Amino acid sequence: MKKNTRIFAAITLLICTFLFINSVNKDIQEPTNTHKAYKIKALKLPQNLNLAGERVPIERQDIRERMDRELLVNTYWQSNGLLLLKRANKYFPIVEPLLKKYGLPDDFKFLALAESGFIDETSTAGAAGMWHFLSSTGKEYGLEINKNVDERYNIEKATKVAAEYLKKAKKRFGSWTLAAASYNAGVYGVAKRLETQQVNSYYDVLLPNETERYVFRILALKEVINNPSKYGFVYDQDDLYTLPKTVTVEVDSVITNIASFAKSFGTTYKELKLHNSWLRENRLNNKTKKVYQIKIPVK
């Protein structure tokens, strides 16, 4: 009896040992750094992609790969994607009627988003404002740019200039896609490469790497922001950013102290500058008695 008990115990120990070793080996063979429910899915590219009505030839392999890259980046860089969705809700209502007013296709709001992310940071090349104009370009199109006032940060005026630039480029190239590319590489830069390579399409010309990606990034932002749930973005409407209401005051004289000016309207220097970032100092020189429109936040 004792002998049988010992045999049974030995067999049980062997089975337990085998199961333990098998479990350890399985853990070693199948390591994971993420939750089992987390999956990174390949994306199915939409077949009807277009920029301002101009079709993207997605059937071409190189075009598919370039589009896939930007769509993957803007889908799986989730924090940035959600921030852009939130900011788009804040600024698109301003930009959309301006694009319509100045005769520019609605899709170009995504170009502005791609350029600046709707934040007032200056690029390493010195481009500033929502539309990221260089100082030389802004001045060429009539914007006032100096240490005191920089109208590249004035959304209304900068959008008008962007429309003028892009419509001029469209007239030159006959294509909104090439006009968008020229916004990144310059009209001359794009024209020279088209001539050298003897082609007339953005999808046929070899451009600098940044410009090669540029239009596809705009297209990716358009696709994701127009179809957020399709790409896994979940939010409530009140999670999105909105622009506080303002009233506009016209000023045709010098403002010696903007902080005091803001206080006289029941607001602060910080709040006033958030709505009028084109005011670059704590005074408005205005030697020419120009009429400026200053937005005052409504409490």
Q: How is 229-288 classified by DSSP, letter by letter?
A: GGGT----GGGS--PPPEEEEEE-S-BS-HHHHHHHTT--HHHHHHH-TTB-SSSB--TT
Q: Is 150 exposed, middle or buried (0-12, 13-18, 19+ CB in 10 A)?
A: buried
- Taking domain 50-239, whether its CATH number is 1.10.8.10 is answered by no
Kindly list the domain boundaries of the chain, sorted by start residue: 50-239, 246-297
Residue type, 161: V
Q: In the structure, what pLDDT confidence band is assigned to residue 18 with cuts at 50, 70 and 90?
A: low
What is each CA distance from 113 to 10, 95, 119, in whole angstroms?
70, 10, 9
Ranking 124-138, 145-159, 168-182, 282-296 by mean pLDDT, the lowest is 124-138
Q: Does residue 193 carry a pLDDT above 50?
A: yes
Question: What is the average pLDDT across 37-48?
Answer: 86
CA dist., res. 112 & res. 94, Å (int):
12
Comparing C-alpha atoms, which of 278, 1, 243 is closest to residue 129? 278
Ranking 78-87, 120-129, 175-184 by mean pLDDT, the lowest is 120-129
pTM equals: 0.86
Residue type, 278: W
Ranking 56-60, 119-123, 256-260, 281-285 by mean pLDDT, the lowest is 119-123
Please answer whether residues 269 and 225 qualify as being in contact, where contact means their C-beta atoms are separated by less than 8 angstroms: no
CA dist., res. 294 & res. 275, Å (int):
8
Q: In this predicted structure, what is the pLDDT of residue 40?
A: 85
Q: Does residue 181 carry a pLDDT above 60?
A: yes
